[in-house]
Every structure is written in structure tokens, then in C-alpha cells.
Amino acid sequence: MPPRPNLVSVFRALSIRPGSLAARRPPAATACIAAAAQGGARRGFATEMDDTKEISETLRAKMNAYMSDDPSGKPSLDGPSENELALKQLELAAYGVQPWDVETEGVKFGIPQRAAAATPGVSHKKRYDPVVEQMTKLLMRDGKLAKAQRDMAMILNYLRSSPPPKVNPARPLLPGAPPAYQLPLDPVLYLTLAIDSVAPLIRIRGYKGLAGGGKSLDLPIPLMARQRRRVAFGWILDVVNKKPSKGSGRTMFPHRVAEEIVAVIEGRSSVWDKRQQVHKQGTVNRANLGHSAVQRFKVM
Amino acid sequence: MSAPNSLRCLARPSAIIPRSLTSAPWIAAPFSTSAPSLAKAETRKGVMPGGHVRSGKKMQLGKFKKNAVRQGKSPLPGERKAYRKRIQLSNSNALPVPGLEDVRPADMVDENKIGRVMSIPGLVLDQLRDVEAFKPTQYWGMFRTPSTLLRAETVDLARRMQNAADKKDMLRLVISGERLTGKSLLLLQSLTYAFMNDWVVIHIPEAQELTTACTEYAPIPETDPMQYMQNNYCLRLLQGIRKANERVLSRLTCAHSHTDLPQNIPVNSTLLQLTNSAKEPEGAWLVFQALWKELMSQTATRPPVLLALDGLAHIMRVSDYMSPSFEPVHSQDLALVRLFCDALSGKSTLRNGGAIIGATSRGNTPRSPSMELSLTQRLAEQAGEEAPKHPPYAKGFDPRSEEALKSVRVVDLKGISKPEARGLMEYWAASGVFRAACDEKTVTRSWTLGGHGVVGEMERASLQTLRP
């Protein structure tokens, strides 16, 4: 059975004092810790305070004295015993000082460097680009994430190896987009640009019965970036699922998706019409925002 | 035409947006009995002139029956497979790698070139394509030019081939190893070496096409035990041989006359003519036999021959074919497979030197306990250890397969070394495919993630990834 620390005597000496006492660090205690750090003292409790072990400890002390021919009969120790160290540390804890200071005591293998969580490839939860991660989850069917990831990798590889797209000026991409010939070299950017360019700014939400007489009141609701991307990729997937497949095999589905993404960048895709339709509805229904019911029921 | 809405914002439209066009008159005025609404109603299917909709007329079996409306024409037979098997060998978007050289015959036997990536010369590329050495699952389509890494095993294999050609000896070798370790690629490199040194190359790209009963077969008369020829496959093989080896075959002349072929081939006509004489599946096997006989001829000078096959396990078992008495046919009773196995076992020799190389495959491969045991035994013998014994109670062993693999040399492919991995990853980085600093840390990480340098796994970890 491991030795139990006898905390009673320690806590008996405790007193509740207001405020942090970290600044009032007792000099004796710090000196003690510094000595421990130099001597490579181990953290923990010795067995001396344990009543049941007291006899055997005194015996051992006598044995040591006999072996070292010390007439005083006391064990020859250079500094304070481990037990005293531990007690001092507890005392420090009572004062509000951090007793097990890593810098003072030292660590065996060095302090691990914690990289910034936002650095790609460091945190396993933020391993991929946010757009890629979201689209991968949208590709997923029946909870098969690994398959979705493989599909997404194939989509990116298709974009990487397809010829540079011919951008249609009638369907302008996001302002600040890189020139088309650079896109295949960065497939993630290619994908992001396609999705962000066709993403709608709003959605139409109908409030049933709000317009009076059982008629619903359609209101344009602005979307956040993630929502916009979700809607856009949903439209792309709708088109893809309706398109007949030309081939077979595991590359078929991802290649259809990738072809549609190229079509979006080139302005051939029907997803652009959907976007335009939603925006038209939004501008028409913009007048409804001033409807008295909107203020009355505080829907916005 | 300008769009009524601005594309990027919701500014007010300059033109008046047309109202919904769905307001047909008979919807707008349901109680009207005017002529247009009647006319409209008559055109609708299942609606009587009085406006009564006959429900229950249409019977639908199955609750969730879909009305599958197919638009456009579906692909013709074979098109889907062609799409699946399409191989793209270059990517014009990938960056050209500075300092990338074409591999020369001397490079493949030079151990100083180990760990370097070298591209396959254009001429050899066409030849490799003709013998179907490339596979759709490989990553050729991500780089500017098809290039391969020269690894220690490549140089070793090329040297053995060189020795065999010099001594007119016969190299009998099986490439084995865990999955994705580059077995097919090592076979491709051996083909490259053979093509560059003007060997005659006969390559069977997928052994399963021979034994899974997907090509026609016919018994060869006067054979005991009965053997089978596969004329359709032989014709395809001969066409590949002709295209890939055209330069070599046109230089060689027949030492014998062949009168039993579909076309009479006199002495001194070129081997290319002999190969060309197979125009139809009938007689293709005879032409192949005649070509083999010519290549093995002792009287004339002949180049070394490389006989290569991928997917060895498929020919080390009982095939899916049936004999006339409806008994399963052993793979080695198929004449083409038997030719390969006889050469592999050393029963027949390549008179003018050459190599017989078979590569095992770990994907879509039948279990062949005999092959596994034999390869383990050969590896143990090569290492000077005691070979494992035949397990006494296990089933499914095949003595003929063990006989074929009794004295072959086995190359057990494992992961590449770290210097080789570095060379490969620097090539990836220079091609713009791998977009990270290629330092020791990255290389070690990929090497470790790839199961200690298993090339395919490294590719998966570095190329087939969602990272930018």
C-alpha cells in the first residue's frame, strides 16, 4: 500500500487570509525549493510521518548511524528531508504560491512546445481548410466520412489536372479572384472560389399567416458565410445528382462534382440561374421588411 | 443582355421584374366557363372535358415507385469501361521540374542514381503504353511527364537483367511485397529497361483476364492432357507485341518457314510480317506459337526476351474455365499460361537469354496458399534460413503452382529508404503537387505516415489529400 501523506498537521497551521499572498513569499520556503531543485529532489512524501512506520524508520536511522560510525545516532542528511520539502510545498500552497513551479523544479524531457491551434496540420480538429472540411461533410452519405474524404481528394485532383477554365465575363467571379490559369495549381482555392461565387447572399423565409388573411409573408434573410456555402454546394450537388453518369467506377461521382465546379467557374452551370432567382425574389420581397406585422411580431 | 439584378449585390433592378407567369386564366378564375379554360383543360392528360379528373385510373404498383426519366442517351456498350480505364499520363498544369533527365540504359544499372527521379523517354513511353504497362490507379496524371524513382531494387533488378543478357542466361524472378509497395512499378521499370536495350517484350498486364473466364477459349487438338488456346486474347497480345516491338521485330528474319499459319510465311521474311499475319482470332495462337519458336531459335541471332506478367496469383490456381467434361480447368492447362509457367519454373529455357518476371498483386487477387508458401520458402532460402515446411493440415495447396515456383528468385519489396523518399518528395514539391517545404521533418513525417516508406501510402498521405 502506498504511504499516505499526513496532512493533518499541515492544515492545522493553515489560516485564512484575505487576498493573494503570492507576493509575500516566505524567504525560507523559496530557499528550500531552490535547494530541492539543485539537489534534484523528488516530489512526494516520505514515510517518516506515518505512525505505523515510525519504528522501522528509527531502526533504519540507527542502522545508518552504525554503518557510518556517526556517534550522534542521527541520520546524516545534507539538506532538509523529502518529507520536509513536501510539507514546505504544502505550506506554500496554503499561501497561494504555486509550489510546483515547472521552471524551478525542472522537467525531465523539456516542456513540449504548444503550436498555435490555428496552424494547419497541427490541431487534428483543424486539419483541413474550413471550406474543404464543410464540403466534405456535405458530400458524406450514410455517415461514411472516409469515403467522402476520398471523393473530395479526387475532386481536388481532378481540378488540379484539368485545363485552366475559361471565365465567362457575364458571370463574374468574386472580386479579387486570381487569374484563371493559376487556379488548377491551387485546387482548394479553385473550389472555394467556385462555391463562394455562386453562393446566395440571402434566403427567403416565409412567415405563415403573417401577411394577413392566411397569406404568408416572405422576407429576405441574410446568410452567414458558412450557410451561404452550404446552400451553394447543395445546389451543385442537386445538379450533379440529376446528371447522368458517363462512366463507372469509384472516380465517377467525384468527377461529376468536379465537372460541375468547373462549369460554375466557366459560367455554364445552371446554379447561377438559381442564385439569380433567389436574389430576384429577395429584391421583390425587400418591401415586406417594412410590413407592419414585421414590427408587431418582432420577427426580424 | 444584362442581368436584371446585379450579380454581387442586391441593388434595385433597372428593369421591371416580370411577375410570375404561372397565373393561367383557369386558375385565376376557377368558376369561369369561358372557352380558353376548356381548351386548356382538354389538353391536360386524364382530365375530362367537364373538368373532372379521373382519379384511380392510373394504377401504381409499389409505394415508392420512381418515375425514372432518363435524359440524353446513355453511354454505348464499352464506353463506361473505357472511361473507368482511361489513363492520363501527363498534366500540363503541373510545373516542369528543372533538372529532370530522361533515364538512359546506363542509369538504371548505376547505383549512384539510386534515389533519383528520372523521366521515361517518349519513345519508351509509347511502347509501355502499347503493352498496357500503366494502370489507372497510379498517379501519372498529376505530373508533367511520367517519371519514376530509381530505387535500390530497380538497380538490382536491372543489373540482373543485364547479366542475364550478357551471359545468355535466364533470369527467373517474382516480385512480391506488401500492398502499395510498388510491385507493378518495378515491373514497369524492368519493361523500361528491356525496351531501352532492344529486348523483345511480351507483357501480360492482367493475368486475371486469362483465367477468370472472361475471354473465349478452345481446346487445342491432339494435346494430352488437354490444353486450351485463347485466340481472342492472343490476337490482342500479338497486336500489342507488334506495336511495342516494331523496331526490333522488323530487323529480325524468320529462320523457319511457317506453312500452317493463316498466311504463308516463308523463310527470311521479317518477324514483324509473321506477327502481322494474325489478323483474326482464328489462328492467333498458332501465330503466337510460331513467333515464340522463332524467338527461341538457335540458328539465328536473337535479342533477349522479357516475358512479364502482373497478377501472378491468378495463374497459380484452378481457373474459372470448364473442360468439355465439365471439370474445372487448371490455369496452367491454358496454353499461354503454361508457356509462362514452364519458363518460370525453368522447364523450358530462353535460348538467347532474357528474363521471366512475374509480379504478385495485393488488390483483387485470389488466395493462393501454394504461391504464398513457395514465396516464403524462397525468401527464407535466399536469406540462408530454414525454409518453412508445408503445413500438414492446411488445405487448398496446389502442387503444380509449387512446382512452377520451385527455383525462382523472389524480390520482396518493402518501403523505400529515407534518402529515396527525400528524392521522391522533392520531385513532388518541384512539380507543385506537394505544397509544403520539403525538409527532413516533412520527409520523415510522410515516411512514417506511409508505414516506413511504403510508396503508395506516402502518396496517399501526401498527394491524395484534402490539404491545399
Condensed to tens digits (0 to 9), the pLDDT of residues B241-297 reads 999 999 999 999 999 999 999 999 999 999 999 999 999 999 999 999 999 999 999
- Which domains does chain A possess? 8-105 (no CATH), 124-297 (1.10.455.10)
Residue A7 CB contacts under 8 Å (≥ 6 apart), including other chains: A90
In this predicted model, what pLDDT tens digit does every residue of A44-75 receive, in sequence order?
443 444 444 454 555 556 545 544 544 454 54
The better pLDDT of the pair B201, B55 is held by: B201
In this predicted model, what pLDDT tens digit does every residue of B111-127 receive, in sequence order?
999 999 999 999 999 99
Chain B, residues 55-74, CB within 8 A of chain A, namely 70-72, 74
Chain A, residues 55-114, CB within 8 A of chain B, namely none
B83 shares contact with chain A (CB less than 8 Å)? yes
The answer to whether B196 and B107 are in contact (CB under 8 A) is no
The pLDDT of residue A68 is: 52
Q: State the nearest Cα–Cα gap between B445 and chain A, in angstroms.
A: 12
The pLDDT of residue B285 is: 96
User: B28 falls in which pLDDT band (50, 70, 90)?
Assistant: very low
In this predicted model, what pLDDT tens digit does every residue of B89-146 receive, in sequence order?
999 999 999 999 999 999 999 999 999 999 999 999 999 999 999 999 999 999 999 9
User: A91 falls in which pLDDT band (50, 70, 90)?
Assistant: confident
Nearest CA in chain A to B77: A247
The pLDDT of residue B463 is: 86
The pLDDT of residue A17 is: 46
Average pLDDT over residues B302-311: 97
Is pLDDT of B356 > 90? yes
In A, which residues are within 8 Å of B70 by CB distance? 244
Q: How does the average pLDDT of chain A come out, rounded?
A: 78
The pLDDT of residue B107 is: 96
Is pLDDT of A4 > 60? no
What residue type is assigned to position A96 of the chain?
G
Name the H helices within B167-230: 183-196, 208-211
Is pLDDT of A14 > 60? no
User: B12 falls in which pLDDT band (50, 70, 90)?
Assistant: low
Nearest CA in chain B to A136: B466
The pLDDT of residue A77 is: 53
Task: Give the C-alpha separation, B290 to B270, whole Å.
Answer: 12
Give the DSSP letter of residue B321.
E
A185 shares contact with chain B (CB less than 8 Å)? yes
> Hey, are the CB atoms on B141 and A120 less than 8 Å from each other?
no
Residue A6 sits at the vertex; the CA angle it makes with A4 and A12, to the nearest 5 degrees, is 155
Average pLDDT over residues B408-416: 97
User: Which of A280, A288, A289 to mutate to test binding with chain B, by most B CBs within 10 Å of its CB?
Assistant: A280
What share of chain B in percent tops pLDDT 90? 78
Q: For residue B468, count CB atoms less than 10 angstroms from its CB and return exposed for 0-12, middle for 13-18, buried for 19 or more.
A: middle
Residue B131 sits at the vertex; the CA angle it makes with B128 and B132, to the nearest 5 degrees, is 85
Q: State the nearest Cα–Cα gap between B205 and chain A, in angstroms.
A: 20
A120 shares contact with chain B (CB less than 8 Å)? yes
Q: For residue A179, count CB atoms less than 10 angstroms from its CB and return exposed for 0-12, middle for 13-18, buried for 19 or more.
A: exposed
Nearest CA in chain A to B70: A244
> Hey, are the CB atoms on B7 and A172 less than 8 Å from each other?
yes
Give the DSSP letter of residue B15.
S
What share of chain A in percent tops pLDDT 90? 48
The pLDDT of residue A115 is: 60
User: B240 falls in which pLDDT band (50, 70, 90)?
Assistant: very high
Average pLDDT over residues B55-66: 64
B363 shares contact with chain A (CB less than 8 Å)? no
The pLDDT of residue A196 is: 97
In B, which residues are within 8 Å of A164 by CB distance? 93
The pLDDT of residue B56 is: 55
> Hey, are the CB atoms on B141 and A161 less than 8 Å from each other?
yes
At A62, list the grid cell: 540507527
A153 shares contact with chain B (CB less than 8 Å)? yes
In this predicted model, what pLDDT tens digit does every residue of B310-355 receive, in sequence order?
999 999 999 999 999 999 999 999 999 999 999 999 999 999 999 9
In this predicted model, what pLDDT tens digit does every residue of B359-382 receive, in sequence order?
999 998 999 999 999 999 999 999
Task: Give the C-alpha separation, B116 to B427, whole Å.
Answer: 9
> Hey, are the CB atoms on B71 and A202 less than 8 Å from each other?
no
Q: How does the average pLDDT of chain B come out, rounded?
A: 89
Cβ-nearest to B93 among A133, A161, A252 = A161
Nearest CA in chain B to A171: B7
> Hey, are the CB atoms on B91 and A201 less than 8 Å from each other?
no
The better pLDDT of the pair A127, B68 is held by: A127
Average pLDDT over residues B75-85: 90
Nearest CA in chain B to A191: B468
User: B9 falls in which pLDDT band (50, 70, 90)?
Assistant: low
The pLDDT of residue A150 is: 93
> Hey, are the CB atoms on B84 and A161 less than 8 Å from each other?
no
> Hey, are the CB atoms on A246 and B464 less than 8 Å from each other?
no
Average pLDDT over residues B384-402: 94
Give residue for cell 488540379. A160
User: A85 falls in which pLDDT band (50, 70, 90)?
Assistant: confident
User: Which of B1, B2, B6, B7 to mutate to test binding with chain A, by most A CBs within 10 Å of its CB?
Assistant: B7
The answer to whether B148 and B424 are in contact (CB under 8 A) is no
> Is the sign of the CA dihedral B141, B146, B152, B155 positive or negative?
positive
Average pLDDT over residues B201-211: 97
B20 shares contact with chain A (CB less than 8 Å)? no
The pLDDT of residue A62 is: 52
